């Protein structure tokens, strides 16, 4: 079976007219990017990162580095879910590094991660934002191929995230669970056997007058909470009973936040 050592490098810079362009781009399979789209209304460049292979397989090692320079604005998304396939032996690993300069804006909004039966996968995310920069990062997790009876059937899943603001560590999280352990957690809070999880980080200046509207999304079937980081931002977490409700909740969340952070009005499905 072929093993990929994928690499993606993007650097977004602002032109004199205010438009954001990709000043640097390089990628190696299984990474590929679509033609960037400039959203004039949101003043944001949209880039979709595509995996032209079936998904992530045993032995794959993926690394991405995305940088947003001063006054540039970039939304990075994916057109479809990231599937991590069954592994008879071995593991797969993804390292992603996001850097935002002062005055820059970066949104990372991929489609959900779908771990299949028997997979072992580790994802390490490092975020560095300078004072005056802003970022919205979302990580969505489905319980597996529900329609194939594979919910909560992965072997091991490790999701790590470090967030630094002006060099200071303000958030460190490590999520390491077997599928069975996470299923027990989902059943404990009453979310059901097809529960999906959303984890988001917002780093931005300004007052948090949006919090009441966001916490109002916590309702029957949806668990949603907001926690202030030690400085400069917030952690937002969501548990939904299925993928449809998770997507709907994330859309509502972005709509609310876009009223305070206009670049979140960029439509990730525009392409």
The three-state secondary structure class of 207 is coil
Percent of the chain that is helix, strand, coil (3-state, to 5)? 15, 45, 40
pLDDT of residue 185: 65
Q: State the pTM of this model.
A: 0.94
With 0-12 / 13-18 / 19 or more C-beta atoms within 10 angstroms meaning exposed / middle / buried, residue 221 is middle
pLDDT of residue 186: 64
* Of 200, 197, 218, the residue nearest 254 (C-alpha): 200
CA geometry: angle 99, 101, 103, nearest 5 deg: 135
Cα–Cα distance, 75 to 227 (Å, whole number)? 24
Q: Is the peptide bond before 255 cis (omega within 30 degrees of 0)?
A: no
pLDDT of residue 192: 76
DSSP secondary structure code for residue 155 in this structure: S
pLDDT of residue 270: 63
pLDDT of residue 147: 80
pLDDT of residue 209: 96
Continuous segment of H or E residues that includes residue 77 = strand 73-77
pLDDT of residue 25: 96
Cα–Cα distance, 189 to 107 (Å, whole number)? 30
pLDDT of residue 138: 97
pLDDT of residue 182: 72
Q: Which residues of the chain have pLDDT under 70?
A: 1-2, 52, 184-191, 270-271
**233 CB contacts (<8 Å, ≥6 apart)?**
135, 163, 165, 170, 171, 201, 202, 203, 204
pLDDT of residue 150: 83
């Amino acid at each position: 079976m072929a093993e990929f050592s994928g690499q993606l490098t993007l650097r977004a810079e602002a032109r004199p007219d205010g438009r954001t362009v990709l000043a640097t781009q390089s990628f190696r399979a299984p990474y590929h990017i679509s033609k960037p789209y400039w959203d004039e209304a949101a003043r944001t460049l949209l880039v979709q990162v595509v995996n032209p292979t079936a998904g992530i397989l045993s032995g794959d090692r993926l690394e991405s580095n995305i940088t947003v320079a001063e006054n540039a604005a970039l939304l990075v998304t994916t057109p479809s879910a990231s599937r991590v396939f069954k592994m008879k032996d071995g593991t797969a690993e993804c390292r992603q590094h996001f850097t935002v300069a002062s005055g820059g804006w970066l949104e990372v909004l991929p489609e959900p991660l779908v771990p299949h039966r028997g997979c072992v996968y580790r994802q390490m995310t490092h975020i560095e934002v300078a004072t005056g920069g802003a970022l919205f990062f979302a990580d969505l997790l489905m319980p597996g191929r529900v329609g194939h009876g594979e919910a909560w059937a992965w072997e091991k899943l490790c999701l790590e995230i470090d967030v630094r603001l002006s060099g200071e560590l303000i958030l460190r999280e490590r999520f390491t669970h077997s599928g069975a352990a996470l299923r027990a957690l989902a059943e404990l809070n009453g979310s059901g056997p097809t529960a999906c999880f959303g984890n988001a980080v917002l780093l931005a200046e300004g007052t948090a007058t949006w919090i009441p509207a966001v916490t109002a999304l916590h309702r029957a079937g949806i668990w949603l909470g907001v926690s202030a980081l030690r400085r400069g931002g917030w952690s937002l977490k969501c548990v939904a009973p299925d993928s449809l409700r998770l997507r709907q909740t994330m859309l509502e969340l972005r709509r609310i936040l876009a009223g305070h952070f206009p670049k979140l009005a960029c439509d990730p499905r525009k392409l």
